[in-house]
Amino acid sequence: MKDDQPSAGAAAVVLTGGKSSRMGRPKALLPFDGEPLIVHAVRRLEPLFSEIIVVAAAEQELPPLRRGSGQALPVTLVRDQVAYQGPVAGIYYGLQEARGAIGFVTSCDVPFLSLGLISHLLSQITNYDVVVPYWEERLQPLFAVYRREVAPLLKDQLESGELRPISLYKKVRTREVGPEEIRRFDPEGLSFLNMNTPEDYQAALKRWREQRGPAEPAKESASVPCTVELLGVARLRAKTREVSLALPQGATVAHVFSALAEKLPTLVGPVIAPGGNSLASGHACNINGRDFVRDLTVEVRPGDRIFIISADAGG
């Protein structure tokens, strides 16, 4: 069933090698939610990608890329050969390393990235070489999807000193994803909220704590990745086929609905009941195509695919 995921075979490329000069210390090492920011970024991306490539500068200090349990994260580490050439180099080295044909490139300092938006960007690559969001009046090359085939062009750019990623976009088939389209998946554009100064960092920590809610204890790398497939009314309303979620350990089907409601608020009402943790009548939930869910306290297992369908099968 993996083949059905738009992200199947896609790699995530996480760039960590920026100068961090305004921050005053290396961003990748900043503690975030009880772990270094780079580890946090990798864990967030894990449910969506079969391959994760971390690109770091030649001499850059990195924390151990491990979960809280000590288990190593499935990451390929690439070192940038020449220091501080900028993002084009990072993208180039990352794509070079990818096994599959497609790479989603991001930096490690966007803790609020939306997996729904990333899935959408990936799904748009079919007839293009680059899919790049346009947010707050500018293209966002460090939150974009690239075909690996563009790597040689990036190399040419490096050699000729064209160090701005957007120079590439004129040369290849580029799909720009505009603000309205972005808002369908990430209403506030939090995916583009990166941290450049200590103030940014503090604000992000604060936002993160608020999002989690005060009562919830910080959980160690405990995350249950699962995918929700939307069918029927849910798909038409959300304008997306599937959403990847990373839920806390012990999460139940009711948690899936809440997480989905948060990601796709447009589903609240027509598909998800207003309380956010059950389905509106006329919809049903099935796990892995096998069991129809009647009990919302059923626990979700890692890798589960959860179908939200328009229930009435008649016709």
Partner 1 sequence: MYGFHGRLLQIDLTSRSHRWVALEETRLRAFLGGIGLGTSLLYDLAPGGVEPFSPANPLIFTTAPLVGTGLTTTSKFAVVTKSPLTGFIADSLSSSFFALELKRAGLDAIAITGRAEPPVYLMIGGKESGELPVVEFREARHLWGRSPGETEALIRSELNHGGVRVAAIGQAGENLVRFATISNEGRHAGRGGVGAVMGSKNLKAIALSGNSEVEVADPKGVDAIAEMMRERSLGTVTAKYREIGTVANLAVFNRLGTLPTRNFQQSTFDHAEALSGESLTENSFSRRYGCASCTIRCERLFKSLTGAEQRLEYETLFALGPLCGIEDPEAVLQAARLCDQYGLDTISAGGTLAWAMECAEKGLLPEAQRLGLRFGKAEPFLEALSAIARRSGLGSLLAEGSRRAATKLGGESAYWAMHVKGMELPGYEPRSLKTMALGFAVSPRGACHNRSGAYEADFSGEVDRLSGDARRGGLVAASEDFASVLDSLIVCKFLRKCFTDFYAESAELLSKVTGWSCSDAELRRVGERINTLKKLFNVREGWQPEDDWLPPRLLGEALPTGVAQGVGLTVSELREMIGGYYQARGWDKNGFIPEKKLRELGLG
Binding site for partner 1 (CB under 8 A): 229, 231-233, 235-237, 270-271, 280-284, 286, 288-294, 307, 309-315
- Least separation in angstroms between CB 232 and partner 1: 4
- Least separation in angstroms between CB 310 and partner 1: 3
CB nearer partner 1, residue 170 or residue 294: 294
CB nearer partner 1, residue 190 or residue 268: 268
- Least separation in angstroms between CB 274 and partner 1: 11
Coil vs helix vs strand at 40: helix
Whole-number Å distance between alpha carbons of 10 and 244: 14
CB nearer partner 1, residue 118 or residue 309: 309
Work out whether strand 102-107 and strand 143-147 pair parallel, antiparallel, or are unpaired.
Answer: antiparallel
- Least separation in angstroms between CB 120 and partner 1: 15
Angle between helices 151-160 and 87-97 (to 10 degrees): 150
- Least separation in angstroms between CB 223 and partner 1: 25
CB nearer partner 1, residue 6 or residue 141: 6
Whole-number Å distance between alpha carbons of 17 and 14: 9
- Least separation in angstroms between CB 4 and partner 1: 9
Longest dimension (CA), the chain: 64
Torsion from C-alpha of 269, 273, 275, 277, nearest 10 degrees: -130
CB nearer partner 1, residue 73 or residue 231: 231
CB nearer partner 1, residue 215 or residue 313: 313
CB nearer partner 1, residue 84 or residue 292: 292
Residue with tokens 């001499």: 59
* Number of alpha carbons in the 13 Å side-chain half-sphere of residue 165: 24
φ, ψ of residue 145 to 5 degrees: the values are: -105, 135
- Least separation in angstroms between CB 245 and partner 1: 18
Bin 264: left if φ > 0, else alpha if -120 < ψ < 50, else beta: beta
* Beta strand extents in the chain (DSSP E only): 11-15, 31-32, 35-36, 51-57, 75-80, 102-107, 130-135, 138-139, 143-147, 174-177, 224-230, 242-247, 283-287, 291-292, 305-310
* Number of alpha carbons in the 13 Å side-chain half-sphere of residue 244: 28
- Least separation in angstroms between CB 236 and partner 1: 6
